[in-house]
Chain A
Amino acid sequence: MSDSNHTESEFETITAEGSENPQPVLILAEFETADELMSAAEKVRDEGFKRWDCHTPYPVHGLDGAMGIRPTILPWLVLGGGMTGFVGGLVMQGWMNGVDYKFLISGKPFFSIPASIPVAFELTILLSAFGAFGGMLALNGLPKMFNPLFRSDRFRRATADRFFISIEARDRRFDAPANARFLRDIGANAIEVIEE
């Protein structure tokens, strides 16, 4: 699937098999520790890169600031889900028991707010949770089964015990040899360029 070869420069190149005219899609730098990654991320941010990312086995505290990530809009999606659930739950019960199919039981009113609260509450939670989970997937672009990062064998440790920075070729400042030198200077111990 992938094929790596050492070049004269300071990085390995991984090219997709069967690619007619391989173009780099990203550059990947490995770091040993979270602290090294953190200081490197600050420098990548300050250098003005926009389309780049860090990859860590666990959420590293303070990295959001070091990368300059803005807060997510996810809470608003959850609020929307919750309000839909609450209003929908009340309307459903009111319509079903109070309008469409009225039947008298134990002399209770056909529709009353207190008796409708438990179901409306549960639906509030249910739809908020759908908002939180579905929103997380949508905002993160998941599921994404094909990712050029998966071509790198080294990258497999990103989910275990290593820390990575990736810079996409779509970034305006992308230039494989120059970026490789820069990443090496800020502490990367291995660099790969992935081509497709």
Chain B
Amino acid sequence: MKHLLEKIPFVRPEILGNAESREIDNTAYSPSERQPWITGDNTNTTITDRVCGILEEKPTFGWVMFFLLSLSVLGLLGVFVPFLIFWGVGVWGVNNPVGWGYAIVNFVFWVGIGHAGTLISAILFLFRQKWRTSINRAAEAMTIFAVMCAGLFPGIHVGRAWFAYWMFPLPNQMELWPNFRSPLLWDVFAVGTYFTVSLLFWYMGMVPDLATVRDRAKNGIRKLAYGALSLGWTGSNRQWHVYERSYLLLASLATPLVLSVHSVVSFDFAVSQVAGWHTTIFPPYFVAGAIFSGFAMVVTLLVPARQLFGLKEIITLRHLENMNKIIMLTGMLVGYAYAQEFFIAWYGGVKVEKFAFMNRAFGQYAWAYWIMVSCNVISPQIFWFKKARTNLWIMFIVSIFVNIGMWFERFVITVTSLANDYTPAAWDYYSPKLADVGIMIGAFGLFFTLFALFCRFLPFIAMSEVKGVMADQAHAVAEPKPAEDEGADPAPSPAAGS
């Protein structure tokens, strides 16, 4: 495989893992010595060169292939969305009683994906988890794009997409206002706020790095574009002072926000009277599931990206291991919620509830239920073993399983409860049609296309934050050995493995 790849022209050596970006195992735990977050002999200069290099050099073969593939998948949206808008929601497989099909499943799936990005950028920031700095930019980008994919579905599933603005409290000629007592309207505010705040947080975090790219730009268009985006940032410490305070405040605002968003999404279900939806466990259960699926998506994206862009010393094995630990933890939380639902259905003694859950596990959708359980509850259990937590192939495959499992979780919740309503005469089996599947796959195309463009045109790593972590790291390591020569290196980084 390696020899084959070497023959392809313009493959950057980083793809093959050259000496400059080494895989250094920094996962060993020792109470006496702290492992560095940034490995290798990196300095402020090399970090800048490495990260900006991704934007400045010619696109790699791998990137071009990935982009073209994503773009062609995105084409499916271009076909099926106009098809849907022209013919109406009848082209979907939804029926009576299953009035909510793939559209809501995909909406909840994508909103959930976004949550890991905010968890990494905001909650880990408040907890002073330094490992967030290597992955937060990409994870936040993932959040933005996932919420864009999510926003697509309410926009098109209203049937008459040109009336989608009725969701907002805008003055109109009918003198109507939306119904604020409906969780669906709460959703509009929750997801709208979530998108806006995530975008501000992401962009603000990027301004100093965009200034770095501006200052390295050689041609006029780059100077103009990055110059405008970086707002004239000069790294002034008087500005850093206000900036850091603003960043902290945004993080502390985004933290309750992210917990509220999937709670509000779960109200869409939990506030209704449908058996299997009407449960109080939904908000925390949805939030745990969202973080679970989001971290899986971060691993899915970052494992190939760090290989492709030569970032193995910045996004290290220890970063990946930490994410896998969170995947295992949240996977068990989700598994606990599955068990608790059954317990409450039995303990509550409501016949319809009991039926709804037995039907979920053993009814006509049992296949979907057991796919969900095996992917979400069983597959992350492999992360009890350190070998699995630090093996790139295993974590990549598990992350795909989790993505599949979490999609099925939303399918199981939505469809099984609706298909078997209170009136057995009205029961029906839901299966998707071509347009459902086309739009679902097309949304993945949109997501990966946007992510590919992000990799090429915006700084993939939060350079200014990584440099701050390296400075702290240098102090932490330098203190026990004061005899060492100082001042030779702008930010001496402890060379792990050497």
Task: Give chain B interface residues in 229-263, CB to chain A under 8 Å.
Answer: 231-246, 249-250, 253-254, 256-257, 260
Q: Roughly how many angstroms separate A125 CA and B267 CA in the complex, as a whole number?
A: 19
Taking a contact as CB atoms under 8 Å apart, the answer to whether B190 and A129 are in contact is no
The number of chain A residues touching the other chain, given as a range, is: 35 or more
- Pick 24 A–B contacts, CB within 8 A, sort by A: A32-B490, A57-B48, A57-B212, A60-B237, A61-B472, A78-B253, A97-B179, A101-B176, A105-B181, A115-B180, A118-B183, A129-B196, A129-B201, A130-B200, A133-B246, A140-B236, A143-B231, A143-B232, A145-B227, A158-B234, A159-B235, A160-B44, A160-B48, A161-B491
Taking a contact as CB atoms under 8 Å apart, the answer to whether A32 and B487 are in contact is yes
CB distance from A118 to the nearest CB of B (A): 4
Main SS of chain B's interface residues? Answer: helix
- Of the candidates A35, A55, A122, A133, the one whose C-beta lies within 8 Å of that of B235 is A55
Closest residue to B263 on the A side, CB-wise? A118
Taking a contact as CB atoms under 8 Å apart, the answer to whether A118 and B186 are in contact is yes
CB distance from B438 to the nearest CB of A (A): 32
Query: Which of B84-92, B394-402, B460-468 is the interface stretch?
Result: B460-468
Q: Roughly how many angstroms separate A129 CA and B197 CA in the complex, as a whole number?
A: 6
Taking a contact as CB atoms under 8 Å apart, the answer to whether B253 and A125 are in contact is yes
Query: Which of A4-12, A15-23, A63-71, A176-184 is the interface stretch?
Result: A63-71
Taking a contact as CB atoms under 8 Å apart, the answer to whether A142 and B241 are in contact is no
Q: A34-B491, A116-B180, A133-B250 are in contact. List 10 more A-B contacts (CB 8 A).
A: A54-B236, A58-B208, A59-B241, A105-B181, A129-B250, A132-B246, A136-B242, A136-B243, A137-B231, A143-B228
Taking a contact as CB atoms under 8 Å apart, the answer to whether A54 and B237 are in contact is yes
Given A60-B471, A119-B186, A122-B260, decide whether A69 and B238 contact each other with a Cβ distance below 8 A. yes
**The 10 nearest A-B residue pairs measured at CB:** A136-B246, A161-B44, A96-B177, A143-B231, A144-B232, A156-B215, A118-B186, A54-B237, A58-B467, A122-B189
User: For A139, what are the chain B residues with a Cβ–Cβ distance below 8 Å?
Assistant: 242
Closest residue to B251 on the A side, CB-wise? A132
Taking a contact as CB atoms under 8 Å apart, the answer to whether B208 and A159 are in contact is yes
Q: Is B281 an interface residue (CB 8 A)?
A: no
Q: Is B81 an interface residue (CB 8 A)?
A: no
Q: Roughly how many angstroms separate A28 CA and B234 CA in the complex, as a whole number?
A: 13
Q: Roughly how many angstroms separate A56 CA and B214 CA in the complex, as a whole number?
A: 15
Residues on A lying within 8 angstroms of B by beta carbon are 32-36, 53-61, 63-64, 67, 69, 71-72, 74-75, 78, 92-93, 96-97, 100-101, 103, 105-106, 108, 115-116, 118-119, 121-123, 125-126, 128-130, 132-133, 135-137, 139-140, 142-147, 149, 155-162, 164
Taking a contact as CB atoms under 8 Å apart, the answer to whether B253 and A132 are in contact is yes
Q: Roughly how many angstroms separate A130 CA and B214 CA in the complex, as a whole number?
A: 26
Taking a contact as CB atoms under 8 Å apart, the answer to whether B177 and A97 are in contact is yes
Q: Roughly how many angstroms separate A115 CA and B176 CA in the complex, as a whole number?
A: 19
Q: Is B185 an interface residue (CB 8 A)?
A: yes
User: For B491, what are the chain A residues with a Cβ–Cβ distance below 8 Å?
Assistant: 33-34, 161
Taking a contact as CB atoms under 8 Å apart, the answer to whether B231 and A142 are in contact is yes
